[in-house]
A and B are shown apart, each in its own frame.
Chain A
Amino acid sequence: MTPSTTSAGRDGAPRRSGPAGGTAGRLPWVLVLPAVLGMAFLVLPLAGLLVRAPWSTLARRLAEPQVLEALRLSLVTATLATLLCLLLGVPLAWLLARVAFPGRRLARALITVPLVLPPVVGGVALLLVLGRRGLIGQWLDATFGITLPFTTAGVVIAEAFVAMPFLVISVEGALRAADLRLEEAAATLGASRWIIFRRVTLPLIAPGVVAGTVLCWARALGEFGATITFAGNFPGQTQTMPLAVYLALETEPEAAIVLSLVLLAVSVVILASLRDKWTAGP
């Protein structure tokens, strides 16, 4: 801390007096240069996408049946996957946050594995378990005649597998931050654990659930590796937007750009909806 503010004038610093005032000297270029490069690295590809987009034919290309088909499939599967994640993930987060059971730390670590696992590996793992010859898939096939791989249901499964940790982590964080004493207060008023969860806990953690849901949906929408491995790439059935983008890039680069733009637009909308929660500065 500078002992007096007048010394800043003698050092020649006033030309760069920051809003905080006084404390900052020269900006350290060792940090600023890589910072600017980093920013450019993240932003330029997106700008490139916008620059090279075939704006004149955009409307026509967007209306092409296979684009609409892929978009519809993506939205439907991502939404179904998110619903599946909510149905299983919120109780799972509650269990991890509220119930002390042996091996809870291990369980928490295992649940975050899909977060860091390469999605292709996730797809292979799903095949091994739910594939026609898989541990559970075999039984599903024999007993109910259900086959999951290479079906739309398979897409949902693959997306949910990859996206659920986002929801669980977000909801668990909200649960840990929620005031437990409010749940105790509800108990003294005669509320059972289920009533407490539904009428006190859930409303309290609603912002965390919403944020987790949006992140989860976004992750499911962009899923590529696990989907193509577990569900394949059949137009209209398992070919989601990211798969369509990848395929189009080989045959029709302009179409790939258009599809990418759609995904970019969706991402921006999501980011905007979460603006307050994730991008707001201190």
Chain B
Amino acid sequence: MTLRARLVVARPRFRLDIDLEVASGQVVALLGPNGAGKTTALRALAGLTAMDGGHITLGGAPLHTFAAERRPIGVVFQDYLLFPHLSALDNVAFGPRCHGASRADARRTAAAWLRRVGLAEHADARPRQLSGGQAQRVALARALAVEPRLLLLDEPLAALDAHTRLEIRSRLRRHLADFDGAVVLVTHDPLDAMVLADRLVVIENGAVVQQGTPAEVARRPRTDYVARLVGLNLYRGTATGQQVKVGDMLLSVADHLDGPAFVAFSPAAVALYRTRPDGTPRNLWQATIEGLERHGDNVRIHLEGPLTASADVTPAAVADLDLSPGLRVWASVKATETHAYPA
């Protein structure tokens, strides 16, 4: 049951046009900045937003010709949208009831699903009595109780606090692994996407800019947005052999390639010096410190110069070198720490 879709939604100042393919049992994450069109894509798949073109097929059969209530889908909404006037059990039983189950059968199905998400004892609770994590699990149970062939999740973890998020993310991962249909997940959080998805589809301004497995995307970002998400410095230039020309700079890299290329390296690979270092590392340039901010246990230094780059150094190094905004420093990156790939 593979989902194949081309989603086209035209708005006055925005156009979404993406191709999507999700095999059953596969989890695809739509990743992108706010306003990229992720949620619009999800709503188009669900039948909640009319498409201006394209098609959706599931296992070869057209889906886009049906209204939302006739599609074999389950949706977990961003803020869950549990029915406030119904108990957790009746929220989950709502779908099976709409699909023709008797009241007793629907409630039995719902009770089973609540057990699976570990909320059997909260069956009678109203949504407002549930914590964020519990509400999320009820929403998941409600979406799965209709036995959908396509599960759609819109920012399923966005409304949770950091601690709950960790636990719910691993729970969600287990439930998604058990689910045998296709899953499309929308998120702007790279960690959620990397942990939950088998494949990432990065959307910017309504178009797909990159896709691949989380490892591929993390290793070979192709846009500034993706590079920021995965925490790499990224440049586009022209490669000749083991050198890539980026702007006025010639970067030495470990990989051999020719033509348009990307060069990526981690901020941790950047070394900073007050004076020009002895011995010549291959890639050396003079930069001005734009700003400093805490980044985990280290300090992230923003550098302006021939290359706009981030460098991660230890707080001790910041003190030793007396780094402060406006200071001119020497920055270097070893060729072996860079990664170059065709653009």
Contacts and interface: CB of A to CB of B under 8 A. Distances in A.
Contact of B48 (A184, A199, A204): A184
Interface stretch (B53-61, B69-77, B170-178, B247-255): B69-77
Interface in B75-111: 75, 77, 81, 83-86, 94-95, 98-99
B85 A188 contact: no
B337 to A, nearest CB: 48
Contacts of A187: 47-48, 67-69
Interface residues of A, number: 17
Nearest to B80: A185
A192 B99 CA distance: 10
B342 to A, nearest CB: 41
Interface in A205-237: none
A3 interface: no
A185 B81 contact: yes
B142 interface: yes
Contacts of B98: 186, 189-192, 195
A189 B84 contact: no
A173 B300 CA distance: 52
A200 interface: yes
Interface string A168-204: 0000000000010110111111111001000110011
Interface string B9-51: 0000000000000000000000000000000000000111000
B185 interface: no
Contacts of A191: 69, 94, 98
A190 B84 contact: no
Interface string B283-307: 0000000000000000000000000
Q: Which of A187, A188, A200, A203 has the most CB of B within 10 A?
A: A188
A188 B73 contact: yes
Interface string B124-160: 0000000000000000001100100000000000000
Nearest to B100: A190
Interface of B: 46-48, 67-71, 73-75, 77, 81, 83-86, 94-95, 98-99, 142-143, 146
A188 B83 CA distance: 13
13 contacts: A181-B81, A182-B83, A186-B98, A188-B47, A188-B48, A188-B71, A188-B73, A188-B74, A189-B74, A189-B95, A190-B69, A190-B99, A200-B83
Contacts of B68: 184, 187-188
Contacts of B85: 203-204
A190 B95 CA distance: 6
Q: Which of A181, A189, A191, A195 has the most CB of B within 10 A?
A: A189
Contact of B77 (A185, A190, A200, A203): A185
> Which 7 pairs between the two chains have the least Cβ-Cβ distance?
A189-B95, A190-B98, A185-B81, A188-B75, A203-B85, A187-B68, A191-B98
Contact of B46 (A182, A188, A192, A195): A188
Given A181-B81, A182-B83, A204-B84, A189 B48 contact: no
Most chain B beta carbons < 10 A, residue from A191, A195, A203: A191
B98 to A, nearest CB: 4
Interface string A22-33: 000000000000
B146 A189 contact: yes
